Structure 1
Amino acid sequence: MKTILIVDDEEKIREVVVSYLQKDGFRTIEADTGITALELVRSGNIDLVILDLMLPDLSGVEVCKSIRQISTMPIIMLTAKVTEDDRILGLSLGADDYVLKPFSTRELIARVKANLRRAQDDILLAETISYKDGDLILHPSKHEVHKCGSRVTLTPNEYRLLQTFARHPGRTFSREELIEKVLGFDFEGNVRAIDQHVKNLRQKIESDPKKPEYVVTVFAVGYRFIGGESA
């Protein structure tokens, strides 16, 4: 049974979301403040967070950023804000999905299930995959990535993106293909959203993100993983 943390200061919203989640067989935990949410996340045993952007103490953005420092669990933002800048900010800090208020509960539950499925995608078969004499190392069985000997904390979307690339070295992926593999076929945002995830991934695995050695841009098409070899 998967455990979902619902973080919202509006009790009525929590009650509705909890009711539908429990009907679908999920275990639920509630928090009405960001501080409480972080305490619950640190206690462990949470599989996904539904996080309101507007909280009375910490902002949802601050909570999201703090969660990403300790966990790669999927985070779905609830927000009444609809600007592209708000979405990009959330994605850059590690949010996996957005649901706009007022929302359809059925849609929210569907997105919860989709994000949990993507978080449990099959891992690579190899125990360890090393690039450039250990500069970048993937440990698929542990869902861990190391850069220059230090562990890199990736969001679920960033890990799925890197995993997709590593499964198909040298293959050029269009943005649409990466959206489907990483964010799911039901993603309704702009295909350029994948650019932000690529940018975030490069910041973490490239020695110089402006001159990438792993994930290169294929003009007018998308991206290709070259594993540290020359393009």
Structure 2
Amino acid sequence: MCAQVLVADDDLRHAEGIRRYLVADGHQAVVVHDGRAALETARQIRPDLLVLDVMMPRMDGLQVCRTLRQESDVLVLMLTARSTEADLLLGLNLGADDYLRKPFSPRELMARIRTLLRRAARGAPPGLAERRQVAGIGVDPVGHHVTVNGVQIECTRGEFAILAALSEQPDRVFTRTQLLHHTRGIDRSSTERTIDVHVMNLRRKIEDDPRRPAHLLTVHGVGYKLAP
């Protein structure tokens, strides 16, 4: 499973170590170093999982978790140097999915992350087999066709793979690398530039004005999303 993980830790070396282990395990990782940045970045990129240190400047991890839980069901794994049961229960009561005390081994961290992602995947609805409708754009993964306002359009396999991924989670931002993951079985020579070309071609087919897209949007510095 390729997941997008946001790492929030004000210890730069520690955060970079976590990022490297995540990448080695096949995930995408974005790193920030304070609570305010964690909250803003989570809102922007909508990660699958947030690895969240409790003690951070500007806004601590508990505040970040409390705020995000009012807006999102993102998985949260909290990290803390505190060791009391009261601290652990506070984090879990605020909505954290798991809690890991420092110091911990990288193997333990990655095992916790895999467990959380597997648990979430088992509980996810079978959306891949369902027809989706996003702002007049219909995607049928079983019939492998796309409609725009009820009119069927022709898509290449690469274009369809990207649109199917985006339509499964409307308004979520996907990085180019994540979209590459969805097209790898179709064209193993694909590059991030290939994703840009597919998106450009899709806009010609689904947008009223491809130069001013209203649905298939670019999130600068991150990737693409399909706006509902």
**TM-score, length of structure 2 as denominator length:** 0.53
Residue in structure 1 matched with residue 11 of structure 2 by the alignment: 10
Residue segments in structure 1 that go unaligned for 5+ positions in a row: 124-139, 143-231
C-alpha contact (below 8 Å) 2:10/2:34 kept by paired residues: yes
Secondary structure at 1:120 match in 2: helix
Residue in structure 1 matched with residue 71 of structure 2 by the alignment: 70
Q: Structure 1 residue 87 and structure 2 residue 88: aligned?
A: yes
Which digits, 9 at most, give the CA deviation of each residue in 1:146-174, with x for residues without a partner?
xxxxxxxxxxxxxxxxxxxxxxxxxxxxx
**TM-superposed deviation, 1:44:** 2.9
Aligned equivalents of 1:28 and 1:141: distance in 2? Answer: 26
**TM-superposed deviation, 1:84:** 0.8
Aligned equivalents of 1:51 and 1:71: distance in 2? Answer: 15
Aligned equivalents of 1:99 and 1:113: distance in 2? Answer: 14
**TM-score, length of structure 1 as denominator length:** 0.52
Q: Structure 1 residue 22 and structure 2 residue 26: aligned?
A: no
Aligned equivalents of 1:94 and 1:7: distance in 2? Answer: 17
Off by >2 Å, runs of 4+ in structure 1 = none
Aligned equivalents of 2:126 and 2:72: distance in 1? Answer: 17
Aligned equivalents of 1:45 and 1:98: distance in 2? Answer: 20
Q: CA RMSD in A?
A: 1.7
Secondary structure at 2:10 match in 1: coil
Which digits, 9 at most, give the CA deviation of each residue in 1:163-199, with x for residues without a partner?
xxxxxxxxxxxxxxxxxxxxxxxxxxxxxxxxxxxxx
Q: Structure 1 residue 38 and structure 2 residue 35: aligned?
A: no
* 2:89 partner letter: I
Secondary structure at 1:50 match in 2: strand
- State, as a whole percentage, how many aligned pairs show the same letter: 44
* 2:90 partner letter: L
Question: Aligned residue pairs: how many?
Answer: 126
Q: Name the larger-Rg structure.
A: 2
**TM-superposed deviation, 1:20:** 0.8
Secondary structure at 1:4 match in 2: strand
Secondary structure at 1:98 match in 2: strand
Within 5 Å, give how 1:118-133 maps onto structure 2. Answer: 118-121=119-122, 123=123
* 1:52 partner letter: D
Residue in structure 2 matched with residue 108 of structure 1 by the alignment: 109
Q: Structure 1 residue 54 and structure 2 residue 60: aligned?
A: no
**TM-superposed deviation, 1:45:** 3.6
* 1:9 partner letter: D
C-alpha contact (below 8 Å) 2:92/2:99 kept by paired residues: no
Aligned equivalents of 2:61 and 2:42: distance in 1? Answer: 14
Distance 1:23 1:141, change over 3 A: closer
C-alpha contact (below 8 Å) 2:16/2:31 kept by paired residues: no
* 2:67 partner letter: S
**TM-superposed deviation, 1:56:** 1.0
Secondary structure at 1:54 match in 2: coil
Aligned equivalents of 2:13 and 2:3: distance in 1? Answer: 22
